[in-house]
Structure 1
């Protein structure tokens, strides 16, 4: 089913980006979930990289990472309100059995649980992309947990707004060890870290030690994925080899950003 778009929206052959704060009937703020875009592509990151997938991107986030590659779900949220049934109908229009629920931070919305339960009833395998600060009990086949390091903090030099207004709240929220441990204990998981350079590795090592100290669930080094920072090919060119070398050195997994390598920063990929 096609979705109405605004002037910033792009139909990238396999999906549609959503811009208006309306549902399909033209009503404002009515619907089950704020959806920024829903599209069909390849999973670009993690253990399922390369898997044909339907992406459901919710709008809204409790963090403000300066390098966020979905700017219009966090810094300047845009969305349409869609019902669970409309979302399911859209998902079923694509030839995929894997669905990625992402954001923003999809677990800030309690209705995400209802959507995940409905997707499970329909036979879909689901990955939830989460920053690890919110826990909800639902049908999640893979929790793709991406804890945010200190290098994510939107300082005045790095933040899109340029004035550092989000520093305090981002720092206060970006890590929750108990919630991270609960997610790991509850679901099949991968821990995915956005890495810029070797300065990030001591923090990753320390964070893993802190999580391992409060959970009985084994966290293998191969459950830890290092992903190069960069939302464009040129940016990845600056970090890819460095991060791959760090993964080899520390025994962690390296994950590409396949969608960036293939389509650069095009929407709907």
Structure 2
């Protein structure tokens, strides 16, 4: 409250602008999925709800969350070296980094812990097509609801790579599904696959269901499992991490 002479008061609303904690922004090629090989601006958000990102918490977080990914995740999404941006500042940073590139991928960690209607709108105003990769544990209604206009403002393309059982996934829909083998098997996500938005490609309905071999000491086993399953179940495809083959970040 601020005083206006003779004890009169007026309520002063906070003008603090929301910021988004970002680990890094860089120009590269999308390495996986339908858009593999496409020039992109990547934005890595800080933080995940399944693993802290620190080596000494892998086993603890795997037990705490029930997810296997803390034991093998190799992504650095910790707060060290990160920076806060407003929605406008982040859009400007991305445009400055990417030039004429209009395709962006927001990842993490878990990007839906950060993404909201305000950020989606700012990136759309900057002419970006927004793709994200999420673990499916945060709903779009929760993260991207625009209270002022009473509607959802969501990313344009959603890749879900679940790390928990399907009954714990709250994501309402996805465009591509990526299961990391050997820990996450298609048989355990039969109901969740029904949440896929169907996409018309060459006048056909194309299921974008991917089997991603875990890139670690189980790579050979995971690759063979993926190949075998895809050959027996042709709606599924084997995902190849082309960015690693091309040696780009």
Compute the TM-score of the two structures, normalised by the length of structure 2. Answer: 0.68
Task: Give the number of the structure whose residues are more often helix, by fraction.
Answer: 1
Match of 2:22 among 35, 38, 44: 35
Match status 1:101 vs 2:91: no
Looking at CA atoms only, which structure, 1 or 2, has the larger radius of gyration?
A: 2
> 1:91 is paired with a residue of what secondary structure?
helix
Aligned length: 195
Q: 1:97 to 1:244 in 2, by over 3 A?
A: farther
Match status 1:176 vs 2:163: no
8 Å CA contact retained: 1:226, 1:243: yes
Match of 1:49 among 24, 33, 36: 36
Q: 1:175 to 1:101 in 2, by over 3 A?
A: farther
Look up the match of 2:8.
none
Q: 1:210 to 1:256 in 2, by over 3 A?
A: closer
Task: Give the number of the structure whose residues are more often strand, by fraction.
Answer: 2
Match of 2:72 among 58, 67, 70: 67
What stretches of structure 2 of length at least 5 have no aligned partner?
Answer: 1-16, 52-68, 145-152, 200-204
Q: 1:50 to 1:218 in 2, by over 3 A?
A: closer
Q: 1:216 to 1:96 in 2, by over 3 A?
A: closer
Look up the match of 2:181.
195
Q: Please state how far the C-alpha of 1:139 moved relative to its aligned partner.
A: 3.2
What stretches of structure 1 of length at least 5 have no aligned partner?
Answer: 1-29, 151-173
Q: Distance in 2 between matches of 1:250 and 1:208?
A: 13
Look up the match of 1:208.
190
Q: Please state how far the C-alpha of 1:149 moved relative to its aligned partner.
A: 5.0
8 Å CA contact retained: 1:55, 1:101: yes
Match status 1:84 vs 2:91: no
8 Å CA contact retained: 1:133, 1:175: no
Structure of higher RCO (CA pairs closer than 8 Å, 6+ residues apart): 1
Compute the TM-score of the two structures, normalised by the length of structure 1. Answer: 0.63
C-alpha RMSD of matched pairs (Å): 2.9
Deviations 1:104-153 (A, max 9, x none): 001112x5432222111222111111000101232311110111157xxx
